[in-house]
Amino acid sequence: MKATKCNYCGSERYETRRSEYLYTHRGEYLLVPNTPVEVCLDCGTMYYDAAVLKEIERRFFAIREKIEQPDRYVQMPQKAYA
């Protein structure tokens, strides 16, 4: 997936990591742990491969349409800012 230059700072130094990705669509969420990501070592900008994001989107809609089951459900607290 390696980007050639960071779009934010211009660095060419990256590291492959795994992180949690939160997919949102019209007030619904899918938390995807262990998502591969390239991280700029100079500014921290994160780059996800397009194929990874498409698969997350596919899984979200498959779960929403009850074609697939999620691994588990989690509760998320909510608090308004104002």
pLDDT given at position 2: 53
The Cα 45–Cα 31 span in angstroms is: 20
Give the 3-state DSSP-derived string for 19-37, with helices as H, strands as E and coil as C.
Answer: EEEEEEECCEEEEEEEEEE
Q: Helices (DSSP H) in the chain: which residue ranges?
A: 50-64
SS3 24: strand
Q: Residue 74: pLDDT above 70?
A: yes
Tell me the pTM: 0.84
Q: Residue 78: pLDDT above 90?
A: no
